[in-house]
Structure 1
C-alpha cells in the first residue's frame, strides 16, 4: 500500500508577517525600525508598530519634526527622570510592619548619577526651558495645554513653545552626547 502523498513542502517558503492587522479605532500608531529580537545576525532590523497616542516625543519623531539625535536626547532625559524619581511606591507585605511607617530605601548610584545629569540639564536649559521640557516629556502636555497653563492661548505662543522645545531638544542631544556642537550650529542656521 502506497503512503499518502503530500503536496506541501515541510520547508518554510516565506517569512511570516507578524504585524497586527487590526488596531482600535482611536489608535495612533507609527511604523519604526527596531532590532530583530529573533535575528541570527547582529544588527538585523524589522519594522514594528509603535503607539504614539500618549507619547509627544514619539509623535514628533514619527512625523519627522525632530531628528534622531533630538529624539534620543529626549528619551535619555525621560530615562534619567524615571531613575531619579522617588515617588509613591507600593506597600511591600513581606516587610515587617512597624508603626505604619516605612523606612527610607537608600539612594542607589544610578539614581545619584541621574540626579546629577538632571541638575546639569536644568542649568543648561534655564528655568523656562527646563519647565517646558518637563511639561512635554514628563507630563505629556501638548503645546496648547502648555499655553493654557501659562494663560497664553494664541497660535503665536504655541509656535514659540514648539520652537523653544526643539531648541531644548538640541541642547539635550548635546548634553547626552548624541550630537556635536557643529551639528547644533548648522541646525540653528536653518
Structure 2
C-alpha cells in the first residue's frame, strides 16, 4: 500500500523527513548531517546521521558514480599497451557516448582482437567426457554378465551389501570383484590413452 507524503511526514523517525526544513526544525533531532534518498514510492526523503556516516556515504556514492563512468568509457588503441580506457573529456568527444560496450565485430575488424569463447571449451570438455564414458562402457560390455551388473549397480550408487543381495553373492566377494574390475578398467583406459 502506497503511503502519502503527509502520512510519511507524521512518522519521520520511521520514514525519514520529507524536507530539509522539517528535519532542521525538529527539536528531537540532534544530528547535524543528513542523507537524501528516494524511497520505494519515489519520494525524496532525508535521514539524519552523524558526520562520520555522512562522509562515508558521500564517498561511497561518489566512488560508485566514478566506477560507472570509467566502465562506460571508450576503449582506444595505445602504442604501448594495446587497448586502454579513454581519459579524455567525454563531453567534448565527437563520438556518441552511450555507455554500451563496443561490438565484438568492431573490435575484430579494426583491431584484430578476438574475445575468448568459453562455451567452445565447455562443449569440447563435455564431448571429451562423453567419449571417455562411452569407451569405458564399451569395455564393461565385453565383461561377463555378473561383472557388468556389479559395475552397473555400483555406478547407480548402490552399496556393496545391496549389490550382494541383488546378485545372491557374499558382500566380500562383491567388494573384491568390484576392486579388481575397476583396476582392470583403469589399466585398459590408460593403455588406450597412450
The verdict on a shared fold, with TM-score over 0.5 as the criterion, is: no
TM-score (norm 1): 0.29
Write 1 or 2 for the structure with the bigger share of helix.
Answer: 2
TM-score (norm 2): 0.29
The structure, 1 or 2, with the larger RCO (C-alpha pairs under 8 Å, 6+ apart) is 1
